[in-house]
Structures are given as structure tokens and as C-alpha cells.
A = this chain, B = another copy of it.
């Protein structure tokens, strides 16, 4: 297939962007990617966490993971990240919409075999999810590293789509006597639940207490 066509914005060009600044901001705010690949003509879409460094996304999992093993065979992959920002309620059924930010990225993945690079990539992934955590925890030992597969997904092409703002009813529907507007939605943390076997006196780290800031803004630069 013609490569240029993968990210060509066919409709609603006002909602689309191929600006890397916009794309990276969405990738940094999210932490669940839906990774697509084809085995023969069968598509698979698997959710997974990820980290980002420039135009590389890091994916990880068990060495037994089907997804990671399939992706490491030089096949094309598609990674999609979606953030839901709200429901858009208009007067007409037709004009209902959603406020969202999404990225669809195309490229190929390959396994990282160098142990140092593997640890570096896992640290990037960990910091993407919860900056500061990596420095506090026991680092992976050789056995754990060998049981972990880490892939780098090189983004060749990507596009972002964003919808924000109020409903866009036709003026002819303005007289319809129903509430219209936006119901904003966002991911939020609830009070942390401590493990039952904590060492006496350990404090809840700031990166846990203040996690809502990461949910909104993406990871801090470390």
C-alpha cells in the first residue's frame, strides 16, 4: 500500500494534525497504547503500557508474549493512543460528538537485546508511567531481565486528531428545548491503597500523592 496514504487525513482536516509537537504531547499524556498487527489477514489489537523517547516508543512484556514475538518479525505495526476529554451533547442526535485527543502511529518494532539498552528502555517506560518510581525500587536482576522482552517501536509516520469545544448544532436546531453542552471527562486517581506488608514507617511518595498532575500533563522530564 502507498505509504503516504496511511496518515493522509481524508476527512475533517480541521481536527487533524501531523505536527510532532502535538503528536508527542498526546503520546506523553497517555500511557495505554493499543497495538495492532496482522498475522496473515487476521488483525490483533492488544492494549499495553509504553514509554517514549523522541520518535521511539518502548513496549515491554513477558518473553512469552505473542504480541512482542510477532512484532519482532519485521511486520508492520500500528500504535493508537486515545484520550477521552468529554461528551459533546448537541440538540440533534446527528451532531453529538466526543472531545478527545488521539494519535495513530505507524512503523515497525524490534527487540532490544543489549542488556544496558534494555534497562535504559525500561527506565524510560517506568518514568513515563510514574516519574521518580524507578529510582526508588529494586532494579531488575539478570533473571528478570531475561524473562522480559523490550521492543523499540520506531514511529515512521503519525497523525493526531483532536476535537475540543462546544457542540456544533445547525442554527435551525437552536430552538430545540433540550440541554446542550459539554460534559468534561478525565482520568483521576483515588486515595492510594497501601500494601499489607510495608516496612514500618515508609512514607507515600510525592509522585503517588501528586499523580493527578501526571495524568493531566504527562511525565516530568527526568
Which residues on A are within 8 Å of B, measured CB to CB?
1, 6, 10-11, 32, 34-47, 49, 62, 64-66, 75-80, 82, 84, 87, 89-94, 96, 98, 100, 102, 104, 106, 122, 126, 129-130, 133-134, 136-141, 144, 147-148, 166-167, 169, 173-199, 202-205, 208, 211, 215
Is A43 within 8 A of B36, CB to CB? yes
Report 29 cross-chain contacts, Cβ distance below 8 Å, ordered by A residue.
Answer: A1-B42, A11-B62, A32-B82, A34-B34, A34-B47, A38-B43, A43-B78, A45-B78, A46-B104, A91-B138, A93-B138, A93-B144, A94-B144, A96-B126, A96-B133, A137-B176, A166-B193, A167-B195, A174-B199, A177-B199, A177-B202, A179-B198, A179-B208, A180-B194, A184-B191, A184-B192, A185-B187, A187-B187, A187-B188
Q: Which residues of B contact A91 (CB under 8 A)?
A: 137-138
A202 to B91 CA separation, bound complex (whole angstroms): 12
A93-B80 contact, Cβ under 8 Å, with A43-B36, A180-B194, A194-B179: no
A87 to B182 CA separation, bound complex (whole angstroms): 29
**Min C-beta distance of A166 to chain B, whole Å:** 5
Q: Which residues of B contact A129 (CB under 8 A)?
A: 87, 96
